[in-house]
Amino acid sequence: MHDIFEITREPIDKQGLEQRLLTGAAGAMVTFDGVVRNQTKGRPVVTLQYEAYVPMAIKEMERLGREIREKWPDVDRIGMIHRFGELKISESSVVIVITSPHRKVAFEACHYAIDRLKQTVPIWKKEVFADGEEWVEGSQGEITKQTI
């Protein structure tokens, strides 16, 4: 198994990640790229600040990887990189890559991966506006129900 799970302060090398995951067995590669949006409910965002509990975040991404393989045994490779620190508009905060022999599995698994990552991986973001800042609160109901 050569899946990739990383937390980094540096800009995410999306193409590099894709290349590292490509094997001859893949016929489809689906990449989700989460990027910083310039507004929240109409309020202009200046930057996003991400904070991570790094060792636990890696463990949770690995756990999610195992979950994906149980649900979609045909998945070939899984890659997830989440960035932390201060991010500017349009920069990538998270990139998830799934490869599989055929497209359906890669699409489904990638969609599932980002939804679950947002529920279980211990990372938090703060929106910095021109006139203040606010922590974004996740939906805790899901995590307690499905993880504990």
Partner 1 sequence: MSVEAIWIKILLFGACREAAGIEELDYQLAPSSTAESAWTELKNRFPDLARFDRSILMAVNEEHTGRDTILSSGDTLAIFPPVSGG
Question: Where does this chain bind partner 1 (CB under 8 A)?
Answer: 34, 50-53, 55-57, 59-60, 82, 93-94, 114, 117-126, 135-140, 143-144, 147-148
Closest to partner 1 by CB, 56 or 128: 56
C-alpha 42: how far from its chain's center? 24
Distance of closest approach, residue 69 Cβ to partner 1, in angstroms: 20
Cβ count near 141 (within 10 Å): 9
Closest to partner 1 by CB, 100 or 120: 120
Interacting residues of 12 by C-beta distance below 8 A, sequence separation 6+: 81, 83, 92, 94, 95
Distance of closest approach, residue 124 Cβ to partner 1, in angstroms: 4
- Of the chain, the end-to-end C-alpha distance in Å amounts to 27
Distance of closest approach, residue 56 Cβ to partner 1, in angstroms: 4
Closest to partner 1 by CB, 33 or 74: 33
Q: Which two tokens stand for residue 81?
A: 């990189």
Closest to partner 1 by CB, 24 or 132: 132
Distance of closest approach, residue 76 Cβ to partner 1, in angstroms: 23
Category of 72 on φ-ψ map: left (φ > 0), alpha (ψ -120 to 50) or beta: beta
